[in-house]
Amino acid sequence: MSRIYINGRFLTQQTTGVQRFAREIVRAVDTLLVSRGRDRTRSLVLLTPPGTTLMAGLRAIECRSVGMLQGQAWEQLELPRHTRGGFSLNLCNTAPLAGSSTIVAVHDAGVFAVPEAYSRPFRTWYRLLHPELGRRAVRMLTVSEFSRAELSRYLGIDADRLTVIPNGGDHILRDPADPSILSRIGLTGRYVLAVSSHSAHKNFAGIQAAVKLMRRQGVTLVFAGGTNSRVFSAGEAPDGESRVTGRVTDAELRALYENAECFVYPSFYEGFGLPPLEAMTCGCPVVVSRVASLPEVCGEAAVYCDPQDPADIGRALDEVLESAGLRSELRRRGEERAAQFTWSRSGTALLSLLDGLPAR
């Protein structure tokens, strides 16, 4: 029997899109393995640093805490000893450099394409790590065709070595919406929602400038999300006229999506773009950049804008806010588009890849 050891360091980290991918695809694979019945050819083991709160509800994937260290030290020094004799599956951009049977998911090439969006220590480490993983990994994963092309170019590896397994958006429907968030931040009228980390490449400054240029006035701008200074460089802070929620629960976020007039995401660079997919899943009309992976994810279900031009962002917002018919059509298209991106589909794709690995 071959063993596949999943790097569970993501369970110790704040949840952004990368950690969300890991959590949800592990849960999806576990569900698929249960439905298969006993698999005598492979076993999956989720390894975590000591003291980690393990994932609840897993039935087919074993969970085990190992080692004595934490963080990168645990990943680079201790994890390889515990994956010896099997495959090491790493879902969150990093992986041990030791060992010869590594599978790693790298979600984008942002540290190369938009280095100013990241802190110096973070981008320096990733710029060293990713090319080395590109040389060593037996297989690499990424989340979009756009990222596949970017990683192939920046890492100098054949695109055929990269398998695309996209995010899903249906996790946002798992918990009932919690509308108490609306009264907590004092929302009583129409609002436009922006969701992401407060980092430079998310273009919060462009959103604020666009709202000031809009014809449609009396619409509140709401920012949801946090930031991590160890990863991202600081973007421009939201101004005093906007509502800022900070980090929110999935139930609160669902309520914000479902009650917004529209969602805006004029990002300069994305490897996938999970918030627009969540918005579409919740039936929220979407305005996004016509760059990077966003057209690939949103298809015909969004109104597009130029992220470099606040006037064009404002034009797109006005177009959506002034037409109830367009908002209704975008909700319909968005829900149809989002149905193509589910965690079950992504889990099936990952399991197919794992099934194709040689026995060890």
> Residue range 86-96: average pLDDT?
97
- Ordered by where they begin, the domains of the chain are 2-168+342-355 (3.40.50.2000), 171-338 (3.40.50.2000)
- Integer Cα distance of 155 and 134 in angstroms: 7
What residue has token string 């397994």?
A: 165
pLDDT tens by residue, 28-85: 999 999 998 866 667 999 999 999 999 999 999 999 999 999 999 999 999 999 999 9
Using CA atoms, how far residue 8 sits from 11, 25, 55, 75, 140, in Å, is 6, 12, 9, 9, 17
Beta strands in 198-276 (DSSP E): 220-224, 243-244, 262-265
- Beta-carbon contacts of 246 under 8 Å, excluding residues fewer than 6 positions away, are 224, 225, 226
Helices 17-36 and 343-355: angle between axes, nearest 10 degrees: 70
* Cα-Cα-Cα-Cα dihedral sign, residues 3, 15, 303, 201: negative
The answer to whether the CB of 126 falls within 8 A of the CB of 108 is no
What backbone torsions phi and psi does residue 224 show, to the nearest 5 degrees?
-120, 135
Buried b (16+ CB within 10 A) or exposed e, 325-347: eebeebbebbeebbeebbbebbb
Residue 241 burial (C-beta neighbours within 10 Å; 0-12, 13-18, 19+): exposed
What backbone torsions phi and psi does residue 20 show, to the nearest 5 degrees?
-60, -45
Looking at the DSSP bridge assignments, the partners of residue 164 are 142
- Integer Cα distance of 346 and 312 in angstroms: 34
pLDDT tens by residue, 176-235: 999 999 999 999 889 999 998 777 788 988 999 998 888 777 899 999 986 544 433 444
Q: Which residue in 232, 175, 212, 204 sits closest to 307, CA to CA?
A: 204
- Integer Cα distance of 150 and 352 in angstroms: 24
Q: Which residue in 179, 171, 182 sits closest to 282, CA to CA?
A: 171
pLDDT tens by residue, 247-294: 899 999 999 999 999 999 999 999 999 999 999 999 999 999 999 999
Counting every residue, how long is the chain? 360
CB atoms within 10 A of CB 85: 10
Question: Is pTM beyond 0.85 here?
Answer: yes
Q: Which residue in 225, 243, 240 sits closest to 188, CA to CA?
A: 243
Torsion of CA 265, 269, 275, 278, to 10 degrees: 110
User: pLDDT class for 151, splitting at 50, 70, 90?
Assistant: very high
- Integer Cα distance of 242 and 155 in angstroms: 40
User: pLDDT class for 113, splitting at 50, 70, 90?
Assistant: very high
pLDDT tens by residue, 153-172: 999 999 999 999 999 999 99
The answer to whether the CB of 127 falls within 8 A of the CB of 111 is yes
